[in-house]
Amino acid sequence: MSNNNLKLYFVMRSKVIGGSDPLAVLEGALKGGVTCFQLREKGPDALSGAKLEEFAIQCKSLCKEYGVPFIISGDVDLAVKVGADGIHLEQEEIDFSRVREKLGQNMSLGVSVHTASEAFAAADAGASYIEIGPLFESKEKVNRPTAKLELIREVAFQLPGLPIVGCGGITERKMGSVIRAGASCVAVSSVITDAENPEEAARQLKGQVLLSLTGVEM
Provide the pLDDT for residue 139.
60
33 occurs within a structural domain: yes
Asked, for residue 218, whether it belongs to a domain, the answer is no
Q: What ranges make up the beta strands (E) of 101-205?
A: 108-113, 129-132, 164-166, 185-188
CB 76 within 8 A of CB 103: yes
Question: Is 168 within the bounds of a domain?
Answer: yes
- The tens-digit pLDDT sequence of the chain (218 residues) is 655 678 999 999 999 877 789 999 999 999 999 999 999 998 888 999 999 999 999 999 999 999 999 999 999 999 999 999 999 999 877 676 778 778 877 899 999 999 999 999 999 888 999 999 999 876 655 555 667 899 999 999 999 999 999 999 999 899 999 999 999 999 999 999 999 999 999 999 999 999 998 876 54
CA distance 3 to 142: 28
What is the residue range of 29's domain? 3-213
Q: Compute the CA torsion angle 178, 60, 56, 133 (nearest 10 deg).
A: -10
Please name the residues in contact with 72: beta carbons below 8 A apart, sequence gap of 6 or more: 38, 39, 56, 78, 79, 82, 84, 86, 87, 88
The answer to the question of residue 29 being in a domain is: yes
Would residue 175 count as lying in a domain?
yes
15 domain-assigned: yes
Say if 117 falls within a structural domain: yes
* Euclidean distance between CA atoms 205 and 191, whole angstroms: 9
7 domain residue, yes or no: yes
Q: What's the total number of domains in the chain?
A: 1
**Are 88 and 72 spatial neighbours (Cβ–Cβ below 8 Å)?**
yes
CATH number at residue 32: 3.20.20.70
Active site residues: 40, 112, 141
Please state, in angstroms and rounded to a whole number, the distance separating the CA atoms of residues 1 and 7.
11
Tally: H helices and E strands in the chain: 9, 8
User: For 202, what's the count of Cα atoms within 13 Å in the CB-facing half-sphere?
Assistant: 25
Does this model's pTM top 0.95? My answer is: no
